[in-house]
Structure 1
Amino acid sequence: MPKGMPQVVIKFQIIPDYTLSNMPKTEKFIGKNANIERIATRIENYLTENKFEVAFSRDVSGESHTYLIQARKSGLIRTVSGSRRSTDITISGQPNNFEIKVGTGEWGKNLVTSAPLFVIPLVGIATTVTKLYTAKKFEDNLWSFVKDQVKYLENTHTKDQTNLKEYPCEYVEGYSEWKSPIRDCKLFLEYNSGNSCIILKTSIEQGLKIPATKIESAKIIMKRSKENTDDRMIQITFRDDHDKKRSPIFNFDDDIIRGVLAGIDELVSETKLQQMTLAIKH
């Protein structure tokens, strides 16, 4: 470059593609016996983790229930793509016969249910479930997540207020009360209105119960195993009865680890949202 010539630096910022195709996509699910409200909750959590502003509406007045979730990006991306455009996810039907539709709409417009739209506060916990979906298009990511959650939530519809979801756990370590890792455990996510918790059951009576209100974070970590391979594990950080921070590590099969993490996030988010609702009422 000749002397005296100013140096020009041009910077480009690549805006991720969070848009959907113009044609809405619909998929029907038969015989799943799934709790569709929990599917909706997990989708809300997924979108908020991806830093979307999320609004939610539901109509459960009849036999067929309808849930509408609207999402839009904030900040620079929203400015570029237009602040009124939203991603709309509609779930409608019954536990054994429902459909999920993903398309685009206008933020704040509820054309699906008669109920008002509510903007969802960020009440979840820090998770890394979104990082496991690395397809190039946001639409592919979203549908991968939706189908996974329908699979994980099969046979979760129940008329009882309490609902248990069981996951086999290969071993647990990092809990100071135990001298060695505990193997061949079962982890239960107990959904109970106002009193949800995580329960770990073992064969040697060294169980563990973690109230959802005490959980601060849940994340997937990579840990070197004895076989010198990298294992994906879930680390749950919570406060015990003495307000001491604990961070045990749970090892699950790779086929179910995403479902476990999404379930923990759902459990905590629902509990915190219930607490906020009660606080507002009082």
Structure 2
Amino acid sequence: MISEKIVSFHDKNKDLNQLAQQIITTLDADGYKTQLTTNSPTGIIIQAKKAGILRDIITADRAFTIMITGDSNNFAIHIGIGKWVQNIAVAAAEALLLSVLFLAIDIPEMLWTKHVENEVLKKIIQLI
């Protein structure tokens, strides 16, 4: 993922599968297309991308990748930008093991990405 952020949480006693579903519900309500895998060896992985004309102009294969690792009392949320993977269940482990895997992005897209990434992360923190 490009520009990955990691936020750790301790002593929250949060069901991580339920948290993943809440994240998906929140993103879906904001107009994102999402996909989820819970069978990754690295944790729960959610990909989200926003549809629309601006998205088509910027680059339609980019998506947010949100990974939840750890257990209910000690977990981390990793969020970053990467490439939309058609079959996330197959490619999740490979994509997340390589930290700088995806294409370089230009300055306007990077600024937009950081803005949206921060907004998504704020919403996730509110769920916790």
Question: TM-score when scaled to structure 1?
Answer: 0.34
Check conservation: 2:80, 2:117, Cα contact below 8 A: no
- The one-letter code sitting in structure 2 at the alignment partner of 1:67 is I
What is the total number of aligned residue pairs between the two structures?
Answer: 106
**Pair 1:88-2:65 in alignment:** yes
| 3-state SS of paired residue (1:83) | coil
Q: Cα deviations across residues 2-59 of structure 1 (Å, max 9, x unaligned)?
A: xxxxxxxxxxxxxxxxxxxx41100111111111111111111111111111111112
Partners of 2:54 and 2:27 lie apart in 1 by: 15
Q: Which runs of 5+ in 1 are unaligned?
A: 1-21, 115-136, 151-282
**Pair 1:145-2:123 in alignment:** yes
Q: Cα deviations across residues 142-183 of structure 1 (Å, max 9, x unaligned)?
A: 121111111xxxxxxxxxxxxxxxxxxxxxxxxxxxxxxxxx
> Residue 153 of structure 1 aligns with which residue?
none
Residues 175-194 of structure 1: matches in 2 within 5 Å?
Answer: none
Determine what percentage of the aligned residue pairs are the same residue: 24
> Residue 41 of structure 1 aligns with which residue?
21
- The one-letter code sitting in structure 2 at the alignment partner of 1:83 is A
Task: Report 1 or 2 for greater relative contact order, CA contacts < 8 Å, sequence distance ≥ 6.
Answer: 2
Q: Which runs of 5+ in 2 are unaligned?
A: 95-114
> Residue 75 of structure 2 aligns with which residue?
98
Partners of 1:140 and 1:105 lie apart in 2 by: 15
- CA-atom RMSD, angstroms? 2.5
Check conservation: 1:72, 1:87, Cα contact below 8 A: yes
- The one-letter code sitting in structure 2 at the alignment partner of 1:42 is Q
> Residue 50 of structure 2 aligns with which residue?
73
- The one-letter code sitting in structure 1 at the alignment partner of 2:35 is A
Partners of 1:143 and 1:86 lie apart in 2 by: 14
Give the drift of 1:113.
Answer: 4.3
Bigger Rg over Cα: 1
Give the drift of 1:138.
Answer: 2.0
Partners of 1:26 and 1:45 lie apart in 2 by: 21
Q: Cα deviations across residues 124-149 of structure 1 (Å, max 9, x unaligned)?
A: xxxxxxxxxxxxx3222212111111
Question: TM-score when scaled to structure 2?
Answer: 0.72
Give the drift of 1:75.
Answer: 2.5
Give the drift of 1:89.
Answer: 0.5
Partners of 1:36 and 1:143 lie apart in 2 by: 16
